Amino acid sequence: MQTVLAPFSSLRNKPFARLYTAETISLLGDAFTWVGIALLAYDLAKQQAASILAIALTLRVSAFIVFAPLAGVWADRYPRRTILIVTHLGRMIVVSLFPFVTETWQVYGLIIGLNIFNAFFTPAYKATIPQFVTGGTDSKQAIALSNATYQLLGVLGPGLAGALAGLLGVQQIFWLDAISFLLAGILIATLPRSAWTRLPLPTASAETTTWQGIRNGTQWLFRQPAIRFSLLMEFIAALAGAQILVNTVGLVKGIMGQDDQHYGWVMSGFGVGATLAAFGVSRLTQRFRLPTIALFGALIASLAILPAQEVSLIGLLILWAIAGMGQSLAEMPNQFLIAERIPPAEQGRVYGAHFAWSHTWWAIGYPLAGWLGSRFTPQTFWIGGLIAMTCWLAATVALKRTT
């Protein structure tokens, strides 16, 4: 219990507590957004709703890959407070337009706009945390709390949003979503200006062109051996995670013959595992090196999916909880490493580059998982796990000396 509660100690820092509250509210807004979009897609296209959502998710990832590197450069050049406020208000405006949608192309346009704002928000937010919460241990606790909340609301948020949508209706869920982004923006806007004076003034960064800034962000990311190694572990975890997100529904409902409720239970196991690992990872950093944690996370995420088609529903839930733990353990070390090893004036662009590259991994993993699921249905997870394990072994052997 002490390990789980440890990250909450970072809330003693009042500016971070305000920032964290704003982020929690906006994460709830994100949950409302995607539940609302799913219901709206069904209203517009009925049986074609799945294809609309698939395109929407592809557009979401594409926006992150394209715009996050630029967003990271801007997070170093321009006031992060302004970026955080503008991106919240921008998302408020975009989601306020969803109730007026009558065509699917309008959904796609709003999805692109919404996730451009998300792409600009995330690097600025991540770069702000280690500036508000200084000190290695405190900074890790704050990052861990932020990530754990993201995972927890990923589990609880859609259920809450679905319940509210049932009570209020689809249009009203978007208005509630808009209010959440407005409240988050107000919380950030009312932070005392003295809190922002801790942020570095990136005068050296302003001397480079935008393209140079984008390139430098990626170079910083791959220049550090530990960060480079952990990024490869994220790729391997994404291969396993994509298998889970894409093919679990076919396994549970098709092969196992279960219903939507059982599918929800299994996927909640994945989210709960990820949340528990996110709460506990800051304690692990006191005993193990960060690349080692990423290595272990990618390993257990890959191993967990191997026997998925040979177990019962309860066994699958346990495996997915283990895989969720592996996902968090593989993904979080780089956020700590960037905060520790990258100069503060460069962290925005590096977080932006990391955000883009990590979503590139998922953009590779999703179609691979879809192809395996359609071509090798009875052995999907076994083959996917073997691919992930092969990549894990190759990366470990190739990069062991550098880390």
pLDDT in tens, 259-306: 777 887 888 888 889 889 988 887 888 889 999 999 999 999 999 999
What pTM does this model have? 0.83
Using DSSP's 3-state secondary structure scheme, residue 121 falls into helix
Evaluate if residue 138 carries a pLDDT over 90: no
pLDDT higher at 5 or 250: 250
| Cα–Cα distance measured from residue 336 to residue 149, given in angstroms and rounded to the nearest whole number | 16
Give residue 33's pLDDT.
87
For tokens 């009558």, name the residue.
102
- The answer, yes or no, to whether residue 345 has pLDDT greater than 60, is yes
Judge whether 344 and 203 are in contact, CB under 8 Å.
Answer: no
Domain 213-403: assigned CATH number: 1.20.1250.20
pLDDT value of residue 148: 82
- Looking at residue 47, what is its pLDDT? 65
The mean pLDDT value for 51-57 works out to 78
CA–CA distance from 385 to each of 307, 313, 328 (Å)? 9, 19, 17
204 has a pLDDT exceeding 50: no
More confident position, 365 or 377: 365
The most confident of the ranges 115-124, 194-203, 249-258, 261-270 is 115-124
For 203-256, the DSSP string reads: TTGGGS-HHHHHHHHHHHHHHSHHHHHHHHHHHHHHHHHHHHHHHHHIIIIIIS
SS3 320: helix
Which of the four pLDDT bands, split at 50, 70 and 90, describes residue 203?
Answer: very low
Q: Is the dihedral of CA 87, 67, 124, 143 positive or negative?
A: positive
**What fold is seen in the domain 1-199?**
Growth Hormone; Chain: A; (1.20.1250)
Torsional class of 288: left (φ above 0), alpha (ψ -120 to 50), beta (otherwise): beta
Query: Phi/psi class of residue 13: alpha, beta or left (left: φ > 0; alpha: ψ in -120 to 50)?
Result: beta
What three-state secondary structure class fits 201? coil
**Which has the minimum average pLDDT: 227-231, 339-343, 349-353, 358-362?**
339-343
Cα R_g (the chain), whole angstroms: 20
Range(s) of the chain covered by CATH 1.20.1250.20: 1-199, 213-403
